Amino acid sequence: MLARSAVRLHALSAKRALGSRLASTKTLKETLQEVIPAKQEQLKKLKTEHSQTVIGDVKVENVIGGMRGLKSMLWEASVLDPNEGIRFHGMTIPDCQEKLPAAPGGKEIIAESMLWLLMTGKVPTEAETRQLSQELAEKGDLPAYVENLIDSLSPSLHPMTQLGIGVAALNHDSVFQKAYERGMKKTEYWTYALEDSLTLIARLPALAARIYRNIYKPGNELPAIDKSLDLVGNYTNLLGYGANKDLTEYLRLYISIHGDHEGGNASAHTAHLVSSTLADPYLSYSAALFALAGPLHGLANQEVLRWQLAMQKELGDNITHDHIKEYLWKTLKSGQVVPGYGHGVLRKSDPRFIALQEFCDSRPDLLASSTIQLVKKTFEVAPGVLTEHGKTKNPWPNVDAASGCVLYHYGLTEFKYYTVIFGVSRALGALTQVVWARALGLPLERPKSLSMDALQQLIKV
């Protein structure tokens, strides 16, 4: 009897504590419950009043050129302008650096504050950010069946392949899939998609770190998730670099500003496409990861580093701007591209590259690094050479011109793993859109394809 009374008292106290917390700090889900109706109404108005408005023309080059530049996809959290770069709900990267909460004792944006902004369009408070960090840490442990699966894979299997396998396997626990099978209202889809998405984001550090350990540091013990740390703080700790505060801060910045880059890139579009079939967030994002693994998408940062190190090896110490100019022309005349320069949309320097450069400029050890100095000197020379060459639409650097080189400086030198870090970051934006696609009731993607003969017929008409 006394035991039952104690249980009731404990439950009542917990309920009161929860009520007190909710009164002062909203959860991400509660904030979305406030935001979603306004977005639903906006979409309804667009459909009703403007569904026949023409916003662009389709040319033959669009059909045979990978649909490049076609305005044909709804993506709420970010818009990429060719001249201004990325904006997250209208906020530039400097805006985000100024307004989004950092980790305790840190200065850089953390993934949780960026995720909150992407999901809701609102800047979270310090308390809301900490609450989300705690929620993700509580969900962060991998199930034993995924640990066993990843441990069974050959270390010769590419880390991105392993990451995609692990994410797909987590679908075993999908609450969206289970709720769909037993029957749920369409208005409830987003809540289950959100629960899956947060669980997946929470588990990515443990999954990605286990892959790193198995391939590169076999035998090392993986620490437990620290419930007091933010998502990236735990990720760095699991990788074995927790004592390196500068690397942790760098990864916080990198993962946050790399978290979303509008919906037309291959990995984001893949997640959107697969999710439109009502596949759960795990299956949708595993597909996105396999798109990210392609050489024309996520492998760029490691290619930049290979090219930079090859230049260092050939030119030796005391590399001048003239030396770099000669090496750039040698690369171009051999029929190769200069990795890290040019972008499918941007026509100016990538603001993400600028943010990473400013990070480097604020740290004496990075300023003294020959690799980082080479990145900076290349930036001072390459746009002029590429402009003179005349075959590059955008001669300015993208984020990959700097990202891998900083990881290399801090000792994370395993090139093949860099795309995994990209995969951890891009989940923030891709999974945000999975939730919003369900909240807005977006339909199955189904563009119309044409053969070359059909195109010829249309041209004649």
Q: Which amino acid is at 419?
A: T
Q: Does residue 359 contact residue 406 with C-beta atoms inside 8 Å?
A: yes
Q: Is 149 left (phi over 0), alpha (psi -120 to 50) or beta?
A: alpha
Reply yes or no on whether 400 is catalytic.
Answer: yes
- DSSP-based three-state secondary structure for 12: helix
> What are the beta bridge partners of residue 46?
none
Give CA–CA dist 78/89, Å, rounded: 6
CA distances 269 to 115, 146, 291, Å, are 18, 26, 9
Q: Is 392 left (phi over 0), alpha (psi -120 to 50) or beta?
A: beta
Q: Which of 343, 361, 389, 409 is an active site residue?
A: 343
Name the catalytic one among 230, 260, 350, 400. Answer: 400
Question: What residue has token string 């005391």?
Answer: 318
343 a catalytic residue: yes
CA 84 to chain centre: 20
| DSSP reduced 3-state for 69 | coil
Set 81, 89, 158, 297: catalytic member = 297
Burial grade of 25 (CB within 10 A; 0-12, 13-18, 19 or more): middle
User: CA 379, 382, 385: angle at the middle one, nearest 5?
Assistant: 160
Catalytic site residue 89? no
**3-state secondary structure (DSSP) of residue 78:** strand
CA-closest candidate to residue 374, choices 348, 345, 409: 409
Amino acid at 367: L
Yes or no: say if 196 and 282 are a contact pair by the CB < 8 Å rule: yes
292 sits in which H/E element? helix 281-292
What span, in angstroms and rounded, lies between the C-alpha atoms of 331 and 394? 17
Burial class (CB in 10 A: 0-12, 13-18, 19+), 98: exposed
Q: Annotated active-site positions, please?
A: 297, 343, 400
